[in-house]
Structure 1
């Protein structure tokens, strides 16, 4: 008599539910991490035995003892709500009334055009190319890394940013000045891809369920990453040997090094170039709605923050000392 299969562990059920919703692998990792921390915080009690009071205690602990940022606390709350709604099928009817982490409103760091050029001049190779796209197209770091060949439209000088933040797509510009070096880079990428195919590899991960719908698409040129990793690795979800895109950490280190070499005394990260993109467009007279669409912001209020960091002093007011 065949034994009944053992029920899946809770965290494996979470992974299955996340994949069913077509969330990214990064979201999957984040949710699993927060749910694990929640269980350990309550001495390994099963979440089915717990509810709103235990969630409130955990979120309050994050704010009071661990002093996490408001966005971090919200991330933990989202993971726990997902667990109860989509995995345990136990909707939480009561209001979650935890002590909330204090949210801070920080103005983004913005570089001048001269500072952007100085940083780029101290970079080379593929990292220089990516930074040019972050600034020239207003891409988020993750969006640039996940670009595929089919997303680049050279004839119309535009980039299709697919499944960006909030699972929405948008169009942005492909700067003319970067098109030639980008085409030369793609020739090298195509050569590497052909070598992979000759060795029996050449696959990439595909979004959602496209791998099942189009079994051979993962080896086609148009689906390859624009900025592929230097080595092949195992896909953590399917177990297949694939070539992922470059890891963000390499670019982050290259940017820090270039900023230091350029002698810029500002706290600069990869996202700074996106902030600078938006601010410089405003300075050049483009309207806020156009910039909102290029950035992919749902609410124009998010875009409005760049009106406060224009290079005109505090809130654009002229100092009486300068009369």
Structure 2
């Protein structure tokens, strides 16, 4: 932020009413006050006597504050002997341009190992010690097979990419994952959820997630410029594995989006929070949970089930599996084929032999 002539100001991170905010301190200056008021989400605190703004990356950059670094909070709890290893681990994740979600998962999982071994150098761990740690995770901590897989992946990254010792991880067995089928919601129930969601932004989120089979991260990452109403295509940028793709925009949602745009006036992202920043993943998940409650659907499912339902319902309509693969952005057709096990159209036509006998 550029200073008006002869005006001194500084910004710092604060906690206000339980929220992370950026406080901007300056001597009374009419021009600067006007400029602060124009920042989306700016508020005046009577108790602190200061203007404060939402804490997000754009505002941090604007007010010359350090960008939040994922994994930094774990460092203080790690023994000094292993802090250099943890920093090297985090640096390598950033250098390899892993997604922020992956960096968060890997740093948290790797930190769990470092907390436990305390002053033992992680570089000196043997295969047997790593196996003992994973047994501890399974038998004592009662972690699921999927959670243990995440921990193995995190450890594997350190030995393979940071230490250049891939042979160590090759000797570690992986627990067999349960063959879970995707959870699907009936089309009538989805219709009920959409109808009973009156908030236009929330309705649009649900319709896009189901109507295009999007991951929740893809929904909140949509920019206004990603929607092409002429070609009825949507550009999905930087999806899983950093792959872009195009998918079809359902015709029924176009008038909804146009009305939403006029009412909400988003600036950059299609869905923005009250502060003007990108809409949060947790907020979108909460929208889904509330829609389940309103529609009185008693199912233990998350918003990702809308993506599963999209694929399953297309398959039941007779859509070629290879087209579904492209729409979902799957690299391997095997990932898409799991929906063939969920689709019920043909299976429901099978008559049980019990129905064929007289008794």
Q: When the two structures are superposed, what TM-score results if normalisation uses the length of structure 1?
A: 0.77
Aligned-CA RMSD value? 2.4
Residue of structure 2 in register with 1:114 after alignment: 188
The gaps in structure 2 that reach 5 residues or longer are: 1-82
Q: Secondary structure at the match of 1:172?
A: strand
- How far apart are the structure 1 equivalents of 2:270 and 2:258? 10
User: Structure 2 vs 1, CA of residues 315 and 118 (structure 1 numbering), >3 Å: closer, same or farther?
Assistant: closer
Task: Show the counterpart of 1:262.
Answer: 295
Q: Which range is displaced more, 112-121 or 96-105? A: 96-105
For 1:201, the equivalent position in structure 2 comes to: none
Task: Give the strand-richer structure, 1 or 2.
Answer: 2
CA distances 1:46-76 after superposition (whole Å, capped 9, x unpaired)? 2222243332222222222223222222211
Secondary structure in structure 1 of the residue aligned to 2:242: coil
Q: Within the alignment, does 1:33 sit opposite 2:108 as a pair? A: yes
Structure 1 unaligned segments of length 5 or more: list them. 1-7, 194-223, 233-242
Distance 1:95 1:34 in 2: 16
Cα drift, residue 176 of structure 1:
1.2
1:134-149 superposed matches below 5 A: 134-149=209-224
**CA–CA distance in 2 between the matches of 1:153 and 1:51?**
55
SS in 1 for 2:243: coil
TM-score under structure 2 length normalisation: 0.69
Distance 2:355 2:231 in 1: 46
Q: 1:24 to 1:10 in 2, by over 3 A?
A: same
State the Cα distance separating 1:143 from its structure 2 match. Answer: 1.1
Cross-structure match for 1:93: 167
Greater relative contact order, per chain length (Cα 8 Å cut-off, separation 6+)? 1
The match for 2:132 is 57
Cα separation, 1, equivalents of 2:299 and 2:196: 16
Looking at CA atoms only, which structure, 1 or 2, has the larger radius of gyration? 2
How many positions carry a matched residue from both structures?
A: 274
| Corresponding residue number in structure 2 for 1:229 | 273
Note if contact 1:111-1:276 (Cα within 8 Å) is conserved in structure 2.
yes
